[in-house]
Amino acid sequence: MALLEVDNVHSYYGNIHALKGISLTVEKGEIVTLIGANGAGKSTTLKTISGIVRPRLGSVRLAGEDLSAFPAHEIVGKGLSQVPEGRGVFARLTVMENLEMGAYIRDDAKQIATDIERVFNIFPRLKERQKQVAGTLSGGEQQMLAMGRAMLARPKVLLLDEPSMGLAPILVEGIFDTIQAINEEGTTVLLVEQNALMALQIAHRGYVIQTGEIVLQDDAKALQKNEMVQKAYLGVD
Amino acid sequence: MTLNWKQVGQYGFIMGIAVWYVSLVGMVETFDSRGIIDGTMLTLGRALLLTIGLGMGYVTAWKVAKGNWATGLITSLISGIIGGVMAALLVIIIDTTNIRAMFVNASPALVEILTFDQESLAVGLMMLAGSLIACSVAGGVIALLPHLIRRAVISGLLAVLLMGMLGELLTVVLNRFDLTEALADFLYGRNGLSVIGAISVFIFFAAVSTLWATQKEKMQSGVENLPATQRRALSWGLIVVSVLFLILLPQAVGPYISQILVLVGLYAMMGLGLNIEIGLAGLLDLGFVGFFAIGAYTVALMTTTGELGVSGTAIADYSNFWVAIPIAVAVSAFAGVFLGIPVLRMRGDYLAIVTLGFAEIIRILVLSDFLRPILGGAQGVLNIPKPAVAYVNQIANQLPFYFQSVLFFFVSTDGRIKDPAHFYYIILIGCTLIGFVAYRLQYARIGRNWMAIREDEDVAEAMGINLIASKLLAFGIGAAFAGLSGAIFAAQVGSVFPHSFGLIVSINVVSLVIIGGSGSIPGVIVGSLVLVGLPELLREFAEYRLLIYGALLIVMMLVRPEGLWPSDTVRREMQSDEDVEPVPVGQTVPRSV
Ligand SMILES: Nc1ncnc2c1ncn2[C@@H]1O[C@H](COP(=O)(O)OP(=O)(O)O)[C@@H](O)[C@H]1O
Ligand SMILES: [Mg+2]
């Protein structure tokens, strides 16, 4: 049994059929990436998993438990923590306050403090700026903050929605290195990306989504060599 | 350096237009009966004009010259000349053509005020233009002064203006005591401050402001360095002193100001409620008066001795103010949650419109023929008795004589509160209670929920915050506070009418929350003092109240958007805007988004 199982999920925005039967699995300890073009339904898939969008059909199971009965805020407590697209840090709160908000569902103050230290070890930059208002951080720092904050919920699976979006190329590599580091520390990651090149380099497995349907799935290595992926997403012709 | 002359011209033009405007809407003439400095020509009406001159001169030098003395002086002079000439032009137009058909306020009396009561029009015009030019340059000079001096001068000027404006009232208050009577004689003449009084006030407040600005940090660190026991003693001392102050305040200021304080308190309670919705949870509620009305009507109907009351029914014996209060609070809280349910998914502007509609529905329902037999329609509910202390005579018998007289100072022998001003104490208790609850909530877990929702609903949900419960709680608690305010209001006034619950009340509360400092509890108190207290003290303002509100809101949003007493979060944000730490070279991170 996989840690996260998405089974034949159909999601709608009004009449728009955004997900047309998506199935995917994430095993414990993996980095799985979901790649696809703009508007393919990547964010919708993540939102459906975390309960913000409700599927009309199909199910999402975490460690065997069906999540469809739970509202979004309770799903966080079940062990799914999402870094939304465009980061979404609390711009007027400080870095520290943002991190504390990440641990909102927990009440083990001591353990939270050590976890914050852990986040600071991964992102030393945040430690330097812990008293700074988040809105004045650079784009890359905000992304780090959003990821650090999501980790503080101690998720079983960390859901990342296009962490490289809007970042300068030199920073993108750093972000992917950190994702790998987080994963090596033991967090399972479902990574949504348009930047297929980088995502496939760090992921174990990958899925390709097109207009709401999974069209391809394989090991990351194999996908990198796949002709269709190379043409459509890696810019190789 | 090339100067932006167009901008200078614009500021001068704005000065002129502002002078025209306040003159033609009648503000200058209405305010003119109030003197600022006795024996001089400085009345409140003229002070208004001169303040416009000062303000625009300040803005000109500030925006255009950016700290350069020579250009600052020249530009503020030029914008002053434009404003002054425009003001003179207005007088000439009024004097030569009859524009009263359109502008009723363009009267000979206005001309007299504008021309400083001079016989000769030419001299008067010179004085008008000259004084505006002088004020504009003075404003420019103030803008260019070093920070500390600028602060002192502005504090001094504001104090003179305010104390002059409130002269009549302050003299009455000061004359109540022998000790302070001499001070009143020294400071005040017949109409406004005496010249020597004005100078003293200016120097005193300038000095206080400077001391405060320079010594504040030293004092703070001094207090922080005290041993814990002493610090505790100090804070207890402060609490005792402020409680004593608040208890004795009505005795000191007399019945008229006490009544105003009652009104300020009622608005402060509402403000604290709305502050939870707007300031903490970010829910823009424009129908707040609805909950105030619900609280008021609940108490009215439960306690009135009139025909709409419960007398003759089974609960009549148990129904009094003290019983009605918690019920009114509960009913309002319920109404808040009830309104909250349909608007849970709405944000920002949509929410504002729906809540606006809600308040109108409440008002129209109360006015309707349909509910008239229950709520009294336009006639309202009359004969609401004053709250009574039960068993007052039995209690009094147990007390030593001195405390008996204290007790009977406040209540009559049947236990009813004697003087409307004594509602001050009920309101003081109400405000303290609400303030305490608001403070605890703000710093509790739920306060963080609200703050997160205000910042970003979607992210808050992704953190595991229950949006529905948190929002409904904000609506419910906000409404409960307003309900308590309304409940006390009903008993204090003794009758409730639908027209007491118009949109203007909601507007007042929103304004005081924003001007005070959204999300800040002391801000709400300051906001109610400024927006509710001051206009009551200056009855001439009544006609222009909304105009002044509007102007004040605009000016505040431009110069101090964080409010008079901002919350920590907002204060920090404002500071960080000003001085973002420079990122060391070599690790510069391009800022995207
Ligand atoms: N809130 C919304 N309302 C209506 N349609 C939406 C909404 N969000 C996304 N969509 C549509 O659903 C489809 C998938 O969008 P999305 O999941 O955001 O794509 P991606 O994240 O892959 O760029 C797109 O066609 C998009 O236009
Ligand atoms: Mg997306």
Tell me which chain A residues have a C-beta less than 8 angstroms from the C-beta of B456: 88, 90-91
Tell me what pLDDT residue B219 has. Answer: 86
Give the best residue of A47, A90, A126, A149 to mutate against chain B (max B CB count within 10 A). A90
Tell me which chain B residues have a C-beta less than 8 angstroms from the C-beta of A50: 462
- Cα gap B388→B393, rounded to integer Å: 12
Q: Could you give the residue range(s) of every CATH 1.10.3470 domain in chain B?
A: 254-573
Cβ atoms B45, B28 nearer than 8 A: yes
Low-confidence ranges of chain A (pLDDT < 50): none
CB contact under 8 A, A138 and B464: no
ipTM for this model: 0.85
Tell me which chain B residues have a C-beta less than 8 angstroms from the C-beta of A54: none
Q: Which residues contact A54 (CB under 8 A, 6 or more apart)?
A: A11, A48, A68
HEC letters along B275-334? HHHHHHCCCCCCCCHHHHHHHHHHHHHHHCCCCCCCCCCCCHHHCCHHHHHHHHHHHHHH
pLDDT confidence bin for B592, thresholds 50/70/90: very low
Mean pLDDT of B467-487: 96
Percentage of chain B lying above the pLDDT 90 cut: 50
Cβ atoms B13, B168 nearer than 8 A: no
Tell me which chain B residues have a C-beta less than 8 angstroms from the C-beta of A94: 572
CB contact under 8 A, B590 and A50: no
Phi/psi for A58 (5° steps) reads 90, 175
Percentage of chain A lying above the pLDDT 70 cut: 98
B191-218 pLDDT tens trace:
889 999 999 999 999 999 999 988 888 8
The answer to whether residue A29 neighbours chain B at the CB level (below 8 Å) is: no
Given a cut of 80, is residue B402 above it in pLDDT?
no
Q: Which residues contact B473 (CB under 8 A, 6 or more apart)?
A: B446
The answer to whether residue B590 neighbours chain A at the CB level (below 8 Å) is: yes
CATH class held by domain B254-573 = mainly alpha
Q: Distance from B449 to chain A by nearest Cα, in Å?
A: 9
Q: Distance from A74 to chain B by nearest Cα, in Å?
A: 6
A206-226 pLDDT tens trace:
999 999 999 999 999 999 998
Cβ atoms B76, B42 nearer than 8 A: no
User: Looking at ligand 1, which atom is closest to the CA of residue A38?
Assistant: 23
> Which of A76, A139, A166 lies nearest to residue B464, judging by beta carbons?
A76
B143-159 pLDDT tens trace:
999 999 999 999 999 99
Cβ atoms B53, B83 nearer than 8 A: yes
Nearest CA to ligand 1 atom 9: A44
Instruction: Assess if CATH 1.10.3720.10 describes domain A4-90+155-232.
Output: no
DSSP tag of B422: G
Place of tokens 């990342």: A160
Q: Within 10 A of B450 (CB to CB), how many other CB atoms are there?
A: 26
Buried b (16+ CB within 10 A) or exposed e, B382-394: bebebbbbeebee
Could you tell me the distance, in angstroms and rounded to a whole number, from the CA of residue A36 to the centre of ligand 1? 12
Mean pLDDT of B179-184: 88
Domain positions in chain A: 4-90+155-232
